[in-house]
């Protein structure tokens, strides 16, 4: 990860669902200033929102927190969301990562939509949406009882 | 109990206004869908729309989402479920009118049309 420049923001807050919308709108506005690109700012804020929704749904309950950090390098934007998680949830996440990175994003998105429509309430579309809609490269980092999901967005040359 | 008319909806930050005009059901969505579990409200709503369309023999729905600022993936899934239900016995078409200036719409509406091409299409701008 490159050293952060001026286009850098980091937030840490309790895992309350109603904060997510507020954070999404803030990030979209913040990066609209730094990137001067509404579409890219929306892609990044959507990705952050989906990761935060997953983090609230699947993080462990006790002493929980969410940390979202976004920084802009010369050619890319780096987003990370960190939260505590149980070993069981970490394994679920590992399987999800394997599934959503197994093929081309559109093919996986369509397949996951069909599967999710047949399955229960949980959408499980968030990660593949980030790959497909936001065009981000995803990486999962597992620490002791903590997960960090990194999403990296390549910026087009001006 | 199934209803005999098309209901509107105003909940979870989203409005859906339903109007039957000239044999076409026009559904206009506005707001922002970011609820934790939108399926609890929207799955039964779309299911009721599907059943009423079939009962009344309405052949086309125009779903206007231009005023829908944002939809999370759980919200998108409710539209996916409706499209998949419509696809199993295709007797009506869903034409989606969307705003290409909203990134989530520009990217996701073509995917919905690809998922169920026999029943879902995009309105010509």
- Lookup: tokens for B25: 């059901």
How many CB atoms sit inside 10 A of residue A37's CB?
Answer: 15
Closest CA to B38 of B80, B75, B10, B76: B75
pLDDT at position A158 over 60? no
Within-domain flag for B1: no
- Residue pair A69/A145 in contact (Cβ under 8 Å)? The answer is no
Helix or strand (DSSP H, E) at A76: strand A76-84
Let me know: does A117 contact B80? Beta carbons within 8 Å: yes
CATH number at residue B115: 3.30.750.24
Pairing of strands B9-11, B93-97: unpaired
Q: What tens digit of pLDDT does each residue of A128-139 get?
A: 999 999 999 999
Q: Is the pLDDT of residue B1 over 50?
A: no
Question: Taking CB atoms and an 8 Å cutoff, what residues of chain B touch A135?
Answer: none
CATH code given to domain A8-154? 3.30.565.10
**Separation of alpha carbons B29 and B63, rounded Å:** 8
Q: How many CB atoms are closer than 10 A to CB A18?
A: 9
Q: Where are the domains of chain A?
A: 8-154
Nearest CA in chain B to A42: B103
Which pair of structure tokens corresponds to residue A76? Answer: 């890319």
More confident residue, B61 or A7: B61
Give per-residue pLDDT as tens, A77-98: 999 999 998 888 899 899 999 9
Q: Has the ipTM of the complex gone over 0.90?
A: yes
The CA distance from A148 to A83, in Å, is 7
- Pick the residue of A21, A55, A113, A128 with the most B CBs within 10 A to test the interface with B by mutation: A113
Provide the CA A6 distance to its chain's centre, in angstroms.
21
Q: Cβ contacts (< 8 Å) between A117 and chain B: which residues?
A: 77, 80-81, 84
Residues of A in contact with B68 (CB under 8 A): none
Domain assignment of residue B4, yes or no = no
CB contact under 8 A, B103 and A117: no
- Cα B101 → chain centroid: 19
pLDDT band at B2 (very low <50, low <70, confident <90, very high): very low
User: pLDDT (tens digit, 9 = 90+) per residue, B56-89?
Assistant: 999 999 999 999 999 999 999 999 999 999 999 9
Domain count, chain B: 1
Dist CA A119 CA B22 (whole Å): 36
Residue B14 CB coordination number (10 Å):
22
Does residue B99 lie in a domain region? Answer: yes
In a domain, B2, yes or no: no
Do B83 and B114 contact (CB within 8 A), yes or no? no
B3 within a domain of the structure (yes/no):
no
Full domain range(s) for residue B25: 9-122
Residue B37 phi, psi dihedral angles, 5° rounding: -135, 70
């Amino acid at each position: 990860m490159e050293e952060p420049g001026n286009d850098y923001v980091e937030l840490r807050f309790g895992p309350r669902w109603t904060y997510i919308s507020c954070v999404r709108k803030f990030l979209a506005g913040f990066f609209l200033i730094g990137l001067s690109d509404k579409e890219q700012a929306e892609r990044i804020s959507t990705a952050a929102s989906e990761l935060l929704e997953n983090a609230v749904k699947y993080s462990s309950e006790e002493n929980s927190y969410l940390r979202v950090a976004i920084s802009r390098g010369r050619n890319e934007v780096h987003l990370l969301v960190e939260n505590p998680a149980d070993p069981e949830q970490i394994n679920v996440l590992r399987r999800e990562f394997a599934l959503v990175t197994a093929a081309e994003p559109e093919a996986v998105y369509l397949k996951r939509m069909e599967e999710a429509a047949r399955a229960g309430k949980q959408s499980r579309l968030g990660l593949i949406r980030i790959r497909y809609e936001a065009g981000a490269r995803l990486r999962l980092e597992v620490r002791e009882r903590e997960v960090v999901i990194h999403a990296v967005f390549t910026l087009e040359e001006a | 109990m199934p209803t005999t008319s098309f209901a509107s909806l105003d909940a979870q930050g989203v409005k859906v206004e339903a109007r039957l005009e000239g044999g076409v059901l026009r559904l206009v969505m506005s707001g922002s869908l970011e609820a934790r579990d939108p399926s609890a409200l929207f799955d039964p709503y779309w299911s009721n729309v599907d059943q009423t369309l079939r009962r009344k023999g309405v052949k086309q729905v125009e779903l206007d989402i231009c005023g829908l600022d944002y939809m999370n993936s759980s919200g998108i899934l409710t539209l996916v479920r409706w499209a998949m239900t419509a696809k199993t016995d295709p007797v009506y078409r869903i034409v989606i009118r969307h705003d290409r200036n909203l990134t989530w719409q520009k990217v996701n509406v073509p995917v919905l049309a690809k998922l169920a091409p026999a029943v879902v299409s995009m309105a010509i701008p």
